[in-house]
Amino acid sequence: MFRRILIANRGEIALRIIRAARELGVESVAVYSTADANAPYLEMADEAVCIGPPPSAKSYLDISRIISAAEVTDAEAIHPGYGFLSENAHFAEVCETCGIQFIGPPTSVIQSCGDKATAKKTARAAGVPVVPGSEGIVDSVEDAAVIAKEIGYPVIVKASAGGGGKGMRVASNEPSLRNAFSQARAEAAVSFANDEVYLEKYIENPRHIEIQILAGADGQTVHLGERDCSVQRRHQKLLEEAPSPALDPELRRKIGDAAVAYCEASGYRNAGTVEFLLDKHGDFYFMELNARIQVEHPVTECVTGIDLVQWQIKIAAGQNLDFTQDDVKIKGHAMEFRINAENPERGFCPTPGKIDHLVLPGGRGVRMDTHITAGYTIPQHYDSMIAKLIVHGKDRPEAFRIAKRALQELQIKGRGLANTSQLQRAILDNADFASGNFDTSFLEKFLHDHHA
Ligand code: MV4
């Protein structure tokens, strides 16, 4: 096991990793920008190193500053958390070159999973269902028009280097495809320095179902069930739950097996998430693999009792899983609410500032993953997510009851501050959401009706 690891991240996930390391008897080094210099969680690490000014490009995204911090503190491994450098193959490679273990999958796997057209080919070859579409990259608008005619409109043009919804365009006829194709290509060139795009049949109003997987150092791979992440706005998730109200045991086993098959085919190691779309006929399709720990991982930890962040560290240190697929049992129902310092009444605009008054919920079935404290100032420079409320009950109705009272207990007050908890309480009171009748179009409709 490592003696000491460095955490190349900030906020709640930095604290989550500090805690996992401490429980494993591993020392942690936190890095921080000057905007985070007074953050209380830094005290909980064994050491903290300033790596630069507030802009991420000069601190949390600056590879040379992070590697230097690891070298001066004698850290043997780096945990990248989520966002920032977590899926940057170049960073993983630099770590390797410097003799520092990257806590995540091998560089080559980050690379191949990051290329969506390649990932889709791997999936298809492994017998994993994929959305009908082009066989790889489409080079010209003429080819795109021919393929679209074959598969039928509507179609979606996706950037191969994209993911998470970036660089996508939907088209419902040939003239709009011509626009969509050139727009997607131009956007991909600017955003990813790679203008390769591919084509798929557009699945209308799917559910977003993702499967958590763990692959030990020897490659033994298990899945830990699904998370339903359909409640999102502009690809930003607002809440997640496990198990999904849309799956029965048979479909759960099929999607889980498909996720494991993809990971085995791609040589995956460590924790990962395989994203699928589920259509209204109950057919599911591979979308992409997220080669990192995700924000919503605690939902899976609650229903499986497995510490995913500890396993990430153990696997990176060369350990194999000490359990098999048969040992994984899903117990009860968990939900996560992302508490963002944003105002839903004003287009979700961020509300940074000082927290003057703070009451965090607790009690049975409640887990709060957060770095905030009374007196803490939410910096303007980073993501607005400041806390995650995770609830765990014996079934979905009990999880709802715990969630409603915990969201009611939560108080985050300060000049100009707003947060998403009221909106989440309103969603819990929505009949369609409560009955499990929702898909990725739910939140947009809900916000529309709610404001009317
Ligand atoms: C799609 C799709 C419909 N048809 N692909 C968005 C994120 C990326 N991982 C995949 N995405 C989508 N791909 C086909 N062929 C619809 C989406 C999509 C979506 C997916 C999951 C959750 C929310 C979404 C919101 C809009 C579009």
- Amino acid in position 405: R
Residue at 124 is within a domain: no
Active site residue 292: yes
Q: Whose CA is nearest to atom 14 of ligand 1?
A: 202
User: Does 305 sit in the ligand 1 pocket, CB within 6 Å?
Assistant: no
Q: Is 412 left (phi over 0), alpha (psi -120 to 50) or beta?
A: beta
Question: Angle 421-428/396-409 helices, nearest 10 degrees?
Answer: 150
Q: Are residues 169 and 38 in the same domain?
A: no
Q: Whose CA is nearest to atom 18 of ligand 1?
A: 165
Nearest to 412 by CA among 362, 353, 367, 347: 353
List 169, 292, 338, 367, catalytic entry: 292
Per-position DSSP letters for 96-154, written without gaps between them: HHTT-EESSS-HHHHHHHHSHHHHHHHHHHTT--B-SB-SS-B--HHHHHHHHHHH-SS
Q: Are residues 191 and 214 in the same domain?
A: no
Residue at 126 is within a domain: no
User: Does 202 sit in the ligand 1 pocket, CB within 6 Å?
Assistant: yes
Residue at 150 is within a domain: yes
Q: Are residues 333 and 242 in the same domain?
A: yes
Q: Are residues 287 and 181 in the same domain?
A: no
User: Does 444 sit in the ligand 1 pocket, CB within 6 Å?
Assistant: no
| Over residues 67-73, mean pLDDT | 98
User: Does 208 sit in the ligand 1 pocket, CB within 6 Å?
Assistant: yes
What per-residue confidence (pLDDT) applies to 452?
Answer: 64
Domain termination site, one of 201, 230, 251: 201
Residue at 334 is within a domain: yes
Domain termination site, one of 201, 223, 254: 201
The range of the structural domain enclosing residue 159 comes to 132-201
Answer whether residue 314 shows pLDDT above 70. Answer: yes
What per-residue confidence (pLDDT) applies to 53?
Answer: 98
CA of 200, closest atom in ligand 1:
15
User: Does 287 sit in the ligand 1 pocket, CB within 6 Å?
Assistant: yes
Residue at 279 is within a domain: yes
Our count of domains for the chain comes to: 3
Answer whether residue 188 shows pLDDT above 70. Answer: yes
Q: Are residues 397 and 276 in the same domain?
A: yes
Quote the ligand 1 centre to 31 CA distance (angstroms): 34
| Over residues 19-37, mean pLDDT | 98
Answer whether residue 167 shows pLDDT above 90. Answer: no
| Over residues 435-444, mean pLDDT | 98
Domain termination site, one of 201, 229, 250: 201
CA of 288, closest atom in ligand 1:
9
Q: Are residues 319 and 424 in the same domain?
A: yes
pLDDT (tens digit, 9 = 90+) per residue, 88-110?
Answer: 999 999 999 999 999 999 999 99
What per-residue confidence (pLDDT) applies to 202?
Answer: 98
Question: Which tokens hold the place of 39?
Answer: 């953050």
pLDDT (tens digit, 9 = 90+) per residue, 254-294?
Answer: 999 999 999 999 999 999 999 999 999 999 999 999 999 99
Residue to mutate, 203, 204, 294, ligand 1, most ligand atoms under 8 Å from C-beta: 203
- CATH number assigned to the domain comprising residue 93: 3.40.50.20
Residue 119 and residue 285: Cα distance in Å, rounded? 13
Answer whether residue 240 shows pLDDT above 90. Answer: yes
User: Does 200 sit in the ligand 1 pocket, CB within 6 Å?
Assistant: yes
**What value does the mean pLDDT of the chain take?**
97
Residue at 109 is within a domain: no
Residue at 117 is within a domain: no
For 15-53, letters b (16+ CB in 10 Å) and e give bbbbbbbeebebbbbbbbbebbeebebbebbebbbebbe
Pairing of strands 342-343, 349-350: antiparallel
Answer whether residue 6 shows pLDDT above 80. Answer: yes
Q: Are residues 313 and 256 in the same domain?
A: yes
| Over residues 171-182, mean pLDDT | 95
Q: Are residues 263 and 347 in the same domain?
A: yes
What per-residue confidence (pLDDT) applies to 165?
Answer: 76
Q: Are residues 265 and 408 in the same domain?
A: yes
- CATH number assigned to the domain comprising residue 178: 3.30.1490.20
Residue at 428 is within a domain: yes
- Amino acid in position 3: R
